[in-house]
Amino acid sequence: MKTFLIKVGKIAAWTFGVLVVLFIALVIYRIPAVGQKEKAAEAVTRIHAAELTLDTVMGNRLPLPPNEEENNATVAGIDNNGNGIRDDVELAIFAKYPNSAKIRAAELQYALALQLMITEVFDKETWIAAAEMLSRGDACIGLTVPNTDLTTYLKRSKEVEDTVLNISIRKNAEDEAYNFITSYGLPNTDLCDVDLNTLSG
C-alpha cells in the first residue's frame, strides 16, 4: 500500500512538474508578445497625443527650408521645429495658402496624421489609431468646403498626400502601414484640432 502511494505521489509530482514547466515555457513564449503589446500601447498614446497647435497654424514657429538630401534620406524626414509635421510639408502648405488659416489648419492636421501613419504604425492597433487621426484630418479638410464640392475637397486632401508621400520610401512606408488595415469607426465629433471658426479665410 505504502509503495503504491509513493508511486502515485511520484506520478503526481511529475505531472505537476511538467505542467509547471509547460506553463513557464508559455509565459516565456508570451514575453515578446506582451512586450509588443506594451510597445503598441505606447505608440497609440503617442499617436493620440499628437495635436496641431494654433502656433503652428499661425506660423509662429515656421522652420527654415530643410536640406533636401537630408530630408529625403529617411521616411520621417526633417522636423526641426518638432511639431510633428515635416518641415518641407509645413512650408509648402504655408506657401500655398498664406491667407487662409482655415485651410492651413485643416491641411496641416491631415499632414500630421499622414506622418503618423508612415512613422508610427506597426500593427493593427497603431493602424487604427493613425487611421482615426487621418479620418479626423480628412474630415477637417471637408469642413473647409461645402459637401457639394467634392472636387475641391479631393484636390485639397490629395495635394497633402502628394506632398507628404513625395518619395518612394515614404510611399513604401505607407504600403507597409496598410498591411495592418482593418475595420474601424470614423470619428464624428472634435474633428479639427484647432477650431476653424476662430480662424480667418
Partner 1 sequence: MKRGIFVLGILFALLPNLAFAQVSSCSQTGYTVIFVNGIFNTLPEARKNSDILQYKLGRSYNSQPVTVQLGYNQSHIGGAGDLFESYFPSWDSYDLNTILLDIYPKVTTRKLLVVGHSQGGMYANKLYEYLIGHGEPKTALGVYAVGTADSYVAGGGKYLTYNLDPVINKVRYLTDLNPLPGNIDLVDLSPDVPVEGHSFIDQYLAGAGDRIVSDIQGELSALKPDAGTSAEGCFTPPTIDGAYKVEQAILAVADPTASTIRDGAVAGYQGTKTVAIAVGTSMQKSYSSVASAIGSIKNLFSVNLGTKEQDEATFQVAKALYGSSLDTADIQAIIDGKDLGSAVMLATKPVLKKEEKAPGLVLGAHTDTASSSLPSPIKTKKKGTAFHGGTLIASESLSVSEEPAPEEEIPPMPQETASSTEATSTPPAEEATSTEPVFYVMASQSDESNLCAPNWRACYTGSDAPAQTRIDLGQGSGLGGGKIISLTIAKDENSLFKYPWVITIECWVDIAHTQPCPDWTAPSSWNGQQTSVLAEFAMPTPSDRYWTAYFTDSVHDRAFDGSSPATFNPNYYYTLLINDDGWHFGAYGSATEPYWVLTGQK
Residues that bind partner 1 (CB under 8 A): 23-24, 26-27, 30-31, 33-34, 37, 131, 134-135, 138-139, 142, 147-148, 150-151, 153-154, 174-175, 178-179, 181-186, 188-189
- The residue among 138 and 193 lying less far from partner 1, judged by its C-beta, is 138
Cα separation, 149 vs 64, whole angstroms: 34
Q: Which residue has the cell 506632398?
A: 163
Shortest Cβ distance from residue 186 to partner 1 (Å)? 5
**In this structure, what C-alpha cell is assigned to residue 139?**
474630415
Write down how long the chain is.
Answer: 201
Maximum distance among all alpha carbons in the chain?
Answer: 96
- The residue among 148 and 200 lying less far from partner 1, judged by its C-beta, is 148
Cα separation, 99 vs 173, whole angstroms: 32
**In this structure, what C-alpha cell is assigned to residue 54?**
494654433
Cα separation, 121 vs 176, whole angstroms: 8
Shortest Cβ distance from residue 52 to partner 1 (Å)? 18
Cα separation, 56 vs 62, whole angstroms: 7
Shortest Cβ distance from residue 191 to partner 1 (Å)? 8
Shortest Cβ distance from residue 87 to partner 1 (Å)? 24
Shortest Cβ distance from residue 118 to partner 1 (Å)? 11
**In this structure, what C-alpha cell is assigned to residue 153?**
475637397
Cα separation, 66 vs 172, whole angstroms: 22
**How far apart, in Å, do the first and last CA atoms of the chain sit?**
94
- In one-letter notation, the amino acid at residue 75 is V
- The residue among 12 and 24 lying less far from partner 1, judged by its C-beta, is 24
- The residue among 62 and 161 lying less far from partner 1, judged by its C-beta, is 161
Shortest Cβ distance from residue 58 to partner 1 (Å)? 26
- The residue among 5 and 26 lying less far from partner 1, judged by its C-beta, is 26
**In this structure, what C-alpha cell is assigned to residue 121?**
504604425
- The residue among 6 and 20 lying less far from partner 1, judged by its C-beta, is 20
